[in-house]
Amino acid sequence: MQDLEQGVARFRRNVFPAKTELFTRLATTHRPATLFISCSDARVVPELITQSEPGELFVIRTAGNLVPAYAPGSADGVAAGIEYAVAVLGISDIVVCGHSGCGAMTAVADGLDPASLPAVAGWLRHADASQARTTAEGGAGTVAALVRQNVLTQLANLATHPSVARALAGETVTLRGWIYDIGTGTVAELDATGRPSALAV
C-alpha cells in the first residue's frame, strides 16, 4: 500500500501538472476510439504497450481475456461494457489481446480442480470452444496455440452481442485479434486463420 501511495504522490507531483490541458478536457469528455479487451494479468498493460493516453482506450479485462457469448437476460458486466462502448461511445475498433504465458490458458490446457477453484473453473468454461479449436488443429497441450485460438474464439463470441453485430453490419467497427509476448515486447496481429504477423517490427 505504501508503494501505491507513493505512486499517487508522484502522479500528483510529476505527471498531472504536465498534462493539465488533457485532464481538463477529459473532465467533461469521454470519447475513446478503441475497446481493448485483455487478460487481467498484471504484466499486460494496454496503455503501455499501445502508448495510449488517458481517454483513448475503453478497457475490459477478464481472466484469459474471455468474452462470454451474448446471453439474453443475464446480468453480465462484460456484456454491459461491450454494449456501452459500442452503442453509446461509438468506438471504431475492438481489440482482443491474448498474451504469452497466460495463467488462465495454462489452466485450461492442464486442467483445473473445480473443487478448489470453483469460480475460476466455471469462468474458464468460456474457453471450451478455444480448446476444441486447438485440438482440431493439432495443437492440443500447447499453450501458445491455445492462446491464439482463444483470441479467435473470443472475437467470434464478441460478434454474438447485438451491439457488435449491428456495428459490424454497418461497417462502423473493426475487430482485431492480438497476441502480446511479454518477454520480447512484441505484438502480433492474427489473421482470420489465426496466423500471427508482427505489428510494428
Backbone angles phi, psi at 10, to 5 degrees: -65, -40
List residues bridging with 197 in a β-sheet.
189
Instruction: Give me the DSSP letters along 23-68.
Output: HHHHTT----SEEEEEE--TT--HHHHTTPPTTSEEEEEEGGG--P
Pick 102 or 127: Cβ nearer Zn ion: 102
Kindly state whether residue 41 participates in binding Zn ion, applying the rule CB under 5 A: yes
Kindly state whether residue 107 participates in binding Zn ion, applying the rule CB under 5 A: no
What is the smallest separation between the CB atom of 35 and Zn ion, expressed in angstroms? 18
Residue 58: how many CB atoms within 10 A of its CB?
21
Kindly state whether residue 39 participates in binding Zn ion, applying the rule CB under 5 A: yes
Mark the segment that binds Zn ion (CB under 5 A) among 84-92, 94-102, 150-158, 173-181: 94-102
Q: Which three cell numbers stand for residue 11?
A: 502522479
Pick 79 or 102: Cβ nearer Zn ion: 102
Mark the segment that binds Zn ion (CB under 5 A) among 41-49, 112-120, 140-148, 158-166: 41-49
What is the smallest separation between the CB atom of 80 and Zn ion, expressed in angstroms? 22
What is the smallest separation between the CB atom of 103 and Zn ion, expressed in angstroms? 6
Taking alpha carbons only, the member of 125, 89, 82 closest to residue 107 is: 125
Pick 83 or 181: Cβ nearer Zn ion: 181
Cα 34 to Cα 24, 64, 154: the distances in Å are 21, 19, 16
Pick 104 or 146: Cβ nearer Zn ion: 104
Instruction: Give me the DSSP letters along 178-199.
Output: EEE-TTT--EEEE-TTS-EEES
Question: Can you tell me which of 86, 94, 102, 145 binds Zn ion, judged by CB under 5 A?
Answer: 102
Kindly state whether residue 82 participates in binding Zn ion, applying the rule CB under 5 A: no
Kindly state whether residue 37 participates in binding Zn ion, applying the rule CB under 5 A: no
Q: Which residue do the cell numbers 487481467 mark?
A: 40
At position 18, the amino acid (one-letter code) is A
Pick 89 or 182: Cβ nearer Zn ion: 182
Mark the segment that binds Zn ion (CB under 5 A) among 35-43, 71-79, 177-185, 191-199: 35-43
**Residues in the site for Zn ion, rule: CB under 5 A?**
39, 41, 102, 104
